[in-house]
Homo-oligomer: A and B are copies of this chain.
Amino acid sequence: MLTGGPSTTESVNKVPFLADVAVVGAGPIGLAIAWRCALRGLRVVVHDPAPGSGASAVAAGMLSPVAEAYFGERHLTGLLLASAARWPAFADELTEASGADLGYRTEGTLMVGLTADDLAEARRLWAYQQGLGLPVTPLRPTELRDQEPALAPRVRGGALAPTDHQVDPRLLVPALRTAAQRAGAVLVPQAVGHLSEVDARVTVVTAGCGAAALTGLPVRPVKGQILRLRAPGGAAPGFRHVIRGYADGEQVYVVPRADGEVVLGATVEERSDTTVTAGAVLRLLRAGVDLLPELAEYDLVETVAGLRPGTPDNAPILGPLPDRPDVLAATGHHRHGIVLTPVTADLITDLVTTGMADPLLTPFDPGRFVAAAPDPSSAAGPGADGSGEKGGGRVAGPGPDGSAGHGTGWRAAPGAADVGGADRTTEEDRWS
């Protein structure tokens, strides 16, 4: 589609665009795309009045394709794994480009169950994950304590996901911003109210929940409340793994940072406010302290709520809008925005520069939410994703979970018919 150099933005008989690529939304996804595109020599402008102020400002930063491999989400799991595999090189390159520490840690993730009921629930998921061939190693109680002595004696059992890592989103975003700017991307600290305000050959909408108003895509806010604790006296936390657990039916994760911070989250609520509620804080603290008693002695330094960009099938929306091949969506990452940053940036950048869509993107095409158009004339021309499928005009192709679409307009939840599909996943959603 686009290659480097200023001349590419000028076509015959056409006023040249101000930029080759406009990125709307400076969260990690948008900044990473801007960085990657700028590295290819494209003129990139990023629009955001408050970079990094969305879901990433709240997210824990788990890179957990294994622990987050849920029933009925095979395509999504594939994308998560592909992105997690890119993370080590991505982190190296970004650290080099920005000169900033990302808080990238590779100690792995322990998945645990507090009670016998919790453990039974957890084991069902671990069996599913093992069935996919993912690296999940059940541990005997003594092995679990050897791995993490800080776990409560009550914890009944656990499993290790050694390849599930973490990064600190609050370090990641400034690093991406630095790298993007050093590569030549220009940040414009203004909001975009309508896509017509954007002057670029290709527009990439990475506005999280804001993508709904800009594109009409079915992105909705999914509230998450999350806590930040700090080990007393400036010490490091007394545990080194990310801990993900079921505790008396409550699901939590506990993410230790090298600087003593511990992230404890998160609720999943179909609400669009960002108030912190007493009940949510109570449930998170109770579950966290039940799993790791030493947390009771930690300082509670932040209680906050954010809004994840959720989609009907819990999978991201990646690719050209059905009726606007010059507008690419890269949104709806829900609880997976941080882990999906490298693969999203690379594949969207490929799409921008070559016009070819990697097959990995196919299940996440925006067109999956468009049913047969009542009036065919309203369908736009062919998509620009190179996947061989039309964008706007196509009749509900397969969704991320292989389900067929029905109905008209935006489809509500293509994965809902799957075994253990959308409904189940929603209750297991967590910030990633």
Contacts and interface: CB of A to CB of B under 8 A. Distances in A.
Interface of A: 227, 229, 232, 264, 275-279, 281-282, 285-286, 288-289, 295-301, 303
Given A278-B295, A278-B296, 7 more contacts: A277-B297, A278-B288, A279-B296, A279-B297, A279-B298, A281-B281, A300-B303
A270 B303 CA distance: 25
A289 B278 contact: yes
Contacts of A300: 276-278, 281, 303
Nearest to A296: B279
B285 A282 contact: yes
A299 B277 contact: yes
16 contacts: A229-B278, A232-B275, A264-B278, A276-B299, A277-B300, A278-B297, A278-B299, A279-B298, A281-B281, A281-B300, A282-B282, A282-B285, A282-B286, A282-B289, A300-B303, A303-B303
Contacts of A303: 300, 303
Given A300-B303, A303-B303, A279 B289 contact: yes
A416 B278 CA distance: 38
Contact of A299 (B275, B282, B285, B286): B275
A160 to B, nearest CB: 26
In the complex, the 3 A-B pairs of residues with the closest C-beta atoms, listed nearest first: A279-B296, A282-B285, A275-B299
Nearest to A290: B282
A282 B279 CA distance: 10
A285 B282 CA distance: 6
B285 A298 contact: no
A122 to B, nearest CB: 23
A296 to B, nearest CB: 3
A285 B296 contact: no
Contacts of A289: 278-279, 282
Contacts of A229: 278
A299 to B, nearest CB: 5
A393 to B, nearest CB: 45
A390 to B, nearest CB: 46
A381 B108 CA distance: 72
Contact of A278 (B275, B277, B278, B298): B298
A226 B154 CA distance: 29
Nearest to A279: B296
Nearest to A225: B300
A275 B297 CA distance: 10
A281 B277 contact: no
Nearest to A282: B285
A140 to B, nearest CB: 30
A277 B227 CA distance: 12
Contacts of A278: 227, 229, 264, 285, 288-289, 295-300
Contact of A285 (B232, B275, B281, B301): B281
A288 to B, nearest CB: 7
A285 B299 CA distance: 16
A265 to B, nearest CB: 13
A232 B275 CA distance: 9
Contacts of A282: 282, 285-286, 289, 296
A277 B230 CA distance: 9
A296 B267 CA distance: 14
A29 B183 CA distance: 61
A391 to B, nearest CB: 42
Residue of A275, A277, A278, A279 ringed by the most chain B CB atoms within 10 A? A278
A56 to B, nearest CB: 23
Nearest to A264: B278
Nearest to A276: B300
A231 to B, nearest CB: 11
Contacts of A298: 277-279
A239 to B, nearest CB: 14
A232 B276 CA distance: 11
Contacts of A279: 289, 295-298
Nearest to A230: B275
